[in-house]
Every structure is written in structure tokens, then in C-alpha cells.
Chain A
Amino acid sequence: DADVTQTPRNRITKTGKRIMLECSQTKGHDRMYWYRQDPGLGLRLIYYSFDVKDINKGEISDGYSVSRQAQAKFSLSLESAIPNQTALYFCATSGPSGSTDTQYFGPGTRLTVL
């Protein structure tokens, strides 16, 4: 079984709809991240959480919100989706500070906003 899972894997929605992407991990990591990937732009950090009570904005948080429901679960919401939020979304996890900074990625969610 995959250590980091994301649901759904694909989603098509319309402008203005509220969308939630979910991430679960079985690696026992405290730190979780949400990224979006656009062609030629690499991965850009949306939000990150170092533990259940810690939520931080990344470089492109506008239009997104997150919820850390448990150590193993971190969800990303688009309150009112717009077409330029069409992208690949990845969840990642890592161990605590002082570890190798290695991040483990989920398989991604392909989101299309019409």
C-alpha cells in the first residue's frame, strides 16, 4: 500500500464550486505539505503544517485553505474554484527538523476548473 495517498486522483469542476482534496499518510510523519505543479514552473508550495496545531502559508496560498484533521490527514480546499487553479496538486510528508529534509510525495490530483 502507498505511504501517501491522495483522493480524488482526477477532478473536473466548474468555476465557483468548492472543492476539497484529501491527503492521508501512513509514514508517521509530523510534517505535511501541499504543492501545485504547473508546466515549466516546478512545484510551488501552497500550505504546510509541522504538526496538528501548526498551519503555515506557502508562497501561493491565496484562494486556498487547509485543514489538518489528524497527524495523518491534511486536506486542501478551494473555496471558489477558478480556471487558473487548474493544475496538478501534490501532497508531501517529511520527518521532523534535523532529519534529511526528505519529502515523500503522493501520486497527485489532476484538477481541471472549467
Chain B
Amino acid sequence: QKEVEQDPGPLSVPEGAIVSLNCTYSNSAFQYFMWYRQYSRKGPELLMYTYSSGNKEDGRFTAQVDKSSKYISLFIRDSQPSDSATYLCAMSAVAAGNKLTFGGGTRVLVKP
């Protein structure tokens, strides 16, 4: 079983819809949670960063962490065709320094 599980998709939504993405994990030591966005033929870029449990909002993006359930989510409101990409969750534990463990990524397609 992978340490971080993520549905590979693809997830297809109409423009303007809410995109809901999630990851589950098994390592209770994870404290730092990230979402990366990766466009085709590009490197991942950091989208959201959250420490421990709770919510964080940045524009159209909201990240949620529920450590008790070992579950994290990313919501994209008012989705745009430019949001079409692969979204990767990543997490790390303090003891692991900056070593990140990634989910497999979810491919999202926002149709005009």
C-alpha cells in the first residue's frame, strides 16, 4: 500500500464548476501538506501549503487538512480552462527534513 493515495482521474468538469481533489495518507508523522500543480511537459509548481490541521484559502483555492482522518483536500472554485493540469499532493514530517512524499497525481480537465 502506498504511503499517500490519490485518485488518478481524469476528473472532467465544466467551466465554472467546483473542483474537489483529495488525498489520503497512512503516516501519522506528516505535518506539512502541499498541493502542486503540474502542466503538461512542465515541472510541478507549489499551489498551496498548510501546516497541521485546518483550512487555508488563497483566491479561488482552498486547502483542508484533517489529520484525525489522515485526509487532505483541495477545492478550486469557479474553475477555468487554465486550471486543466495534474494536481499532486505532497507531505512531509519534521523528522524527514525537506523530504516530500507525493501522491500519484489527479489529472483535471476543465471544459469551456
Q: Does A105 contact B (CB under 8 A)?
A: yes
- Contact, CB under 8 Å: B88 / A43: yes
- Contact, CB under 8 Å: B104 / A40: yes
How would you classify the secondary structure of chain A's contact residues: helix, strand, loop or mixed? Answer: strand
| Contacting residues, chain B, for A31 (C-beta < 8 A) | 98
- Contact, CB under 8 Å: B99 / A58: yes
- Contact, CB under 8 Å: A42 / B42: no
| Contacting residues, chain A, for B43 (C-beta < 8 A) | 4, 90, 92, 105-108
Q: Does B112 contact A (CB under 8 A)?
A: no
| Contacting residues, chain B, for A24 (C-beta < 8 A) | none
Among B14-22, B44-52, B67-75, the stretch that binds chain A is B44-52
Q: Does A41 contact B (CB under 8 A)?
A: yes
Of residues 76 through 112 on chain B, the ones whose CB sits less than 8 Å from some CB of chain A are 88, 90, 92, 97-100, 102-105
Given contacts A31-B98, A97-B98, contact A42 B45 (CB under 8 A): no
| Contacting residues, chain B, for A103 (C-beta < 8 A) | 46, 98, 100
| Contacting residues, chain A, for B98 (C-beta < 8 A) | 31, 33, 48, 94, 97, 101, 103
Distance A50 CA – B96 CA, assembled complex (angstroms): 12
| Contacting residues, chain B, for A50 (C-beta < 8 A) | 97
| Contacting residues, chain A, for B41 (C-beta < 8 A) | 107-108
| Contacting residues, chain A, for B45 (C-beta < 8 A) | 105
Number of interface residues of A (CB under 8 A): 25
Q: Does B61 contact A (CB under 8 A)?
A: no
Distance A108 CA – B46 CA, assembled complex (angstroms): 15
> How far in angstroms is the closest Cβ of chain A from B105?
6
Q: Which residues from chain A sit less than 8 Å from chain B, CB to CB?
A: 4, 31, 33, 40-45, 48, 50, 58, 90, 92, 94, 97, 100-108
Nearest 6 pairs between A and B by C-beta? A105-B43, A42-B102, A42-B104, A43-B102, A94-B98, A40-B104
Provide a sorted-by-A list of 28 A–B residue pairs whose CB atoms are within 8 angstroms: A31-B98, A33-B98, A40-B105, A41-B104, A42-B6, A42-B88, A43-B102, A45-B99, A48-B99, A92-B43, A97-B98, A100-B32, A101-B32, A101-B92, A101-B100, A102-B34, A102-B49, A103-B46, A103-B98, A103-B100, A104-B46, A105-B44, A105-B45, A106-B43, A107-B41, A107-B42, A107-B43, A108-B41
